[in-house]
Structure 1
Amino acid sequence: MSDTGRESLTDKVTSAAKPDSEKSYVEQATDYVKGTLDSVASAVQPQQEKSTTQKIGDAVTGDNTNRDAA
């Protein structure tokens, strides 16, 4: 099970915990790019190849557009 190109659940939680109003423009841009890349990686990675933590993270964040059989 490889989660290459995926943002870790810890990184997602850490990023979400700090409000955008307290982030610099660079932090906001970085979060946007990471989030976009993670969403793309989530969509193209087959569900059966995702780790349990990535499946949970995708379900929580709504990045579960790839609905292959688990």
Structure 2
Amino acid sequence: AEQSRAEQRKHARGLTEEQEQNLVICIPSPGEDRPFSTMMLSSIPDLHILHGSQCFPMFLYEAEDDQ
């Protein structure tokens, strides 16, 4: 059976199902001259999604050792 592009990307990045559900909140960088806005995304955003932004994931994951 063929995998969807989303499934292929998930496996290429080595993400678990739990990690795939991680959400990211993006806010404008300090000193931004535009009105405040915020976004919540379920994928890795472009760093300039809000004209220069800071993005905070709900969860952080450490790499597993292959020992």
TM over 0.5: no
Which has more strand, going by share of residues?
2
Provide TM-score, normalisation by structure 2. 0.24
Q: Which has the larger radius of gyration?
A: 2
| Bigger relative contact order (CA 8 A; separation at least 6) | 1
Calculate the TM-score normalised by the size of structure 1.
0.24
